[in-house]
Amino acid sequence: MAKKKAAVSIRECVACGCCIKVCPRNTITVPNGIHAVINRELCIGCGKCVKECPASIISLEVTE
């Protein structure tokens, strides 16, 4: 079955970090305050960050 993983549109990310707090697996960081980075190995594609992102620039992408 196709897996879904969260993906950030880094160009539009404002690096607010709202996504960090809602991620149940602590897979999101904002290194150097530039944009959010999601560890796709750990992401379970729950979509919580997608809902939370105030700029709506995180989406779920099919990976396989």
Query: Residue 40 or residue 46: which is nearer to another protein going by CB?
Result: 46
Cα–Cα distance measured from residue 43 to residue 39, given in angstroms and rounded to the nearest whole number: 6
Which residues on adjacent β-strands are paired with residue 38?
28
Least distance in Å: CB of 32 to another protein?
5
Q: Which is nearer to another protein, 2 or 32 (CB)?
A: 32
Contact 30, 37 (CB under 8 A): yes
Q: How far is the CB of 23 from another protein (least distance, A)?
A: 9
User: What is the binding site for another protein (CB under 8 A)?
Assistant: 12, 14-18, 20-21, 24-26, 30-34, 51-57
**Whole-angstrom distance, CA of residue 63 vs CA of residue 33:** 27
